[in-house]
Chains A and B, each alone.
Chain A
Amino acid sequence: MMKYTIKEDPHNDERVREIMEISGENIFACYQCGRCSSGCPMAEFMDVLPNQVFMFLQEGDVDTLLSARTPWVCAACFTCTVRCPVGLDLAAVMEALRELQLRKNYDYVDPYRVENREELPPIALVSNFRKFTP
């Protein structure tokens, strides 16, 4: 069971507002249809499902999302983005959740510790470091 706290008014939560500002998305527009999760190719590796990301945000529970693996498992494939019936860009929300941490100079991936770096194509390294390092 995942523990979460319901805040009084998440509209006033500073971090929720920051996520909306960075992503440019109104996370309160989501009505939990679940289409993002049903089409997500990475959902099987996630601890919080894509639709639950909106649910936690709407409840003001940013802590759960910041400690979740999900934003670091999203592949930014935009399947959710293009299928969302209200036009929310979840990929951008995932980016905002990463940015919130990366902007504090956090390295999710240490470029110096990547295994078999020489066999990887440059686009793999560039895209990975762009998503996972400040």
Chain B
Amino acid sequence: MELKKIMFYPGCTLKGVAKNLEDSTVESARVLGYDFIELPGWTCCGAVYGLAQDSVKFTIANVRNLIRAQEYAEKIRDNRLVAVCSMCYNNLRRAHLDVMKNRDKLQTLDLFMDEEPDYKGEINVQHYLTFLKEEGFDKIAENVKKPLKGLKVAPYYGCLLLRPDEVAIDDREDPHILEELLEILGAEVVDYPLKNECCGSYHTVDKKEFVAERTFKLVSVAKEVGADIITTSCPLCFFNLDKRQEIAKKKHSGFEHMPIVYFTQLMAIAFGINDDKVLHFEQHYVSPREVLSRWL
């Protein structure tokens, strides 16, 4: 089968501490018939979108990325740019919508980047989940070799897939896209009331105790509702929920570790991929190996 070429924006974190996210995304896409090609010449997205209305400095890098995508889209005749990291998705999509709505900003940026072609506004930035849904979840069902039957999963969206409204991939207060996918993979989805609550984000750098408290709450509630594992798509949520369990455990006696995995890792496992070079469980603080042993 010839693979369909799709532009893929990995982002910085996937190139280092989140190889587990990158490789499981690319490999799961390959099973479904897509060749995820890393966008040539991509740069960092900036992680957080600039909220100051009188400045465009945080939009420059994103528009430059969109221009790179515009060039490559012509070659592969597909204007979709897929990101899987929630922060990258949020930034790129917000930048696109922002400059399309505020043409004066785009004009300022086009003038500033006079060495670049102008951005025409035709790039469709999509999150991997949206891409999969648009292409049809039934395609996924056809490829499930090892249904995750009996695995109780708490779906965790975090903030940036759902907020602000203009970039939300689903209903921001009651999203279901991740649940739908997990059910197709055969997993048992638990009703997780904190699925759209913040993990504490960038405070993990200078106020990790705050983040550890968030992690304590998010993991404890997942346990209370019966989950074996939490799944996410954001490498910062992943780091906070996984690594910050170390502090949470020191502070709260009785706290039990829970493994965190990317939804793409679950997809890969359900597709029968059992390769350490794809799953990279060595990048997890709390190893998911035991919980997932039945399917590995």
Residues of A that sit less than 8 Å from B by CB: 21-24, 41-42, 44-45, 73, 75-79, 81-82, 89, 91-92, 95-96, 99, 109, 114, 119-128, 130-132
List 16 additional A-B contacts (Cβ < 8 Å) besides A23-B51, A75-B159, A124-B236. A77-B159, A77-B163, A77-B198, A78-B159, A82-B172, A91-B51, A119-B243, A121-B17, A121-B239, A122-B12, A123-B12, A123-B47, A123-B235, A124-B204, A126-B47, A127-B236
Contacts of B97 in A (CB 8 A): none
Q: Is the CB of B52 within 8 A of A95?
A: yes
Q: Is the CB of A121 within 8 A of B51?
A: no
Q: Is the CB of B53 within 8 A of A78?
A: no
Interface of A is mostly: helix
Q: Is the CB of B51 within 8 A of A76?
A: yes
Q: State the CA gap A70–B210 with chains docked (Å).
A: 13
Known: A91-B51, A128-B202. A79 touches B236 (CB 8 A): no
B43-58 contacts to A, CB under 8 A, are 44, 46-48, 50-54, 58
Interface of B is mostly: loop
Q: Is B197's CB within 8 Å of the partner chain A? A: yes
Q: State the CA gap A125–B13 with chains docked (Å).
A: 10
The winner among A22, A123, A130, A132 for most chain B CB atoms within 10 A is A123
Q: Is the CB of B52 within 8 A of A81?
A: no
A120 to chain B, nearest CB (A): 6
The winner among B51, B58, B203 for most chain A CB atoms within 10 A is B51
B57 to chain A, nearest CB (A): 10
B54 to chain A, nearest CB (A): 6
Q: Determine the residue in chain A with the shortest Cβ distance to B201.
A: A75
Q: Is B121's CB within 8 Å of the partner chain A? A: no
B208-245 contacts to A, CB under 8 A, are 210, 213-214, 235-236, 239, 243
B186-209 contacts to A, CB under 8 A, are 197-198, 200-207
Contacts of B51 in A (CB 8 A): 23, 76, 89, 91-92, 95-96
